Amino acid sequence: MGRLENRFERLFFSTRWLVAPIYAGLVGGLVVVLVKFMQLMVHLVLHCLSLDFDDMSVAVLDMIDLALLANLVLIVMFAGYENYVSRLDLRDHVDYPRWMGQVTFGDIKVKLMASIVAMSAIHLLADFLRLNSMTNRTLAWSVGIHMAFVVSGVLVAVMDKIAEHKPTQGETSHSEKH
């Protein structure tokens, strides 16, 4: 029975490799973000002299938004792969980022929400720059959605902090000590 259980556990453990192609597929998503970034960059350069300040600002904000999205994809790719599939054996590489190998699932959730809040803020700022072409209803929805992201981000961070300080087996909680 022990050998059968051991084989099952090895098979079960090896299923983590089923998510590896998903992380590899995020490389394709990163390429799409790069293509869109380059498209925006070319448009901005070709039209920079004819764009007014607000349109130029919105274009630059869109580029910042794409940069945040690209960083988020990288964090999910690397941290997800290292946390759930296998360690990257590149620690001796000169460009190996210090944060890699230290990002937990909780960190990924908080970074994801922070990125969503930042991207939402960028879209909200772009909406305010286009104020004369926005209806009050559309602007109210933009503010409401942004605030929902902010509240969700704060709640995710608080829940992660609570889970991080949860006493492990054998430890006593702060309330039990007093």
pLDDT at 37 over 50: yes
Per-residue pLDDT of 95-107, as tens digits, reads 877 766 677 777 7
Q: Is residue 19 part of a domain?
A: yes
Does residue 19 share a domain with residue 85? yes
Buried b (16+ CB within 10 A) or exposed e, 23-43: beebeeeeeebeebbeebeee
Q: Is residue 99 part of a domain?
A: no
pLDDT at 101: 65
Per-residue pLDDT of 11-32, as tens digits, reads 999 999 999 999 999 999 999 9
pLDDT at 169: 60
pLDDT at 103: 72
Query: Alpha helices, DSSP H only, in 85-135?
Result: 105-129
pLDDT at 132 over 90: no
Instruction: Determine the structural domain holding residue 55 and report its residue range.
Output: 1-90
Burial of 174 (0-12, 13-18, 19+ CB in 10 A): exposed
pLDDT at 170 over 70: no
Instruction: For residues 101 and 13, give the distance between their C-alpha atoms in angstroms, rounded to a whole number.
Output: 20
Per-residue pLDDT of 108-124, as tens digits, reads 788 888 888 988 998 89
**Count of structural domains within the chain:** 2
Does residue 4 share a domain with residue 68? yes
Q: Is residue 151 part of a domain?
A: yes
pLDDT at 175 over 50: no
pTM metric for this prediction:
0.73
Does residue 79 share a domain with residue 18? yes
Per-residue pLDDT of 53-91, as tens digits, reads 888 998 999 999 999 899 889 888 888 888 888 887 777
Domain termination residue (choose one: 33, 55, 90): 90
